[in-house]
Amino acid sequence: MHARVRQLGVASGVLFFDVSQETLEARLIKRGESSGRVDDNRESILKRFATFQTTSLPVLDYLRTITRVWKISGEEPKEDVFARVCQALGREVPAMS
């Protein structure tokens, strides 16, 4: 077992929000227009995607071997995503007002 796992313990589960690169890019570009973040430009976003592919996805593959990973579509409306998160966590979806 990896030293970090021994130090931190094993998570009881992991939420993985699956969203297409096209959707994420559009969301980040839109965020950049309103937030003033200079790193929300197409070039920086593509670099972040590449980093995610090479560094984060292998971690996710490893986590699948030691704990439950819930894959939740982030393409759905936020209310549906929230409901799926509640379901994964074994919680009742609160009534929305």
Specify the DSSP class assigned to residue 12. Answer: S
The full DSSP string for 22-82 is: HHHHHHHHHHHHHH--TT-SHHHHHHHHHHIIIIIHHHHHHHHHHS-EEEEESSS-HHHHH
pLDDT in tens, 80-97: 999 999 999 999 988 876
Q: What pLDDT shows up at residue 2?
A: 61
Q: Could you tell me which of 91, 3, 75 has the C-alpha nearest to residue 83?
A: 91
Share above pLDDT 90 across residues of the chain, in percent, rounded to a whole number: 66
Both structure tokens of 64: 């699948």
Global pTM value? 0.77
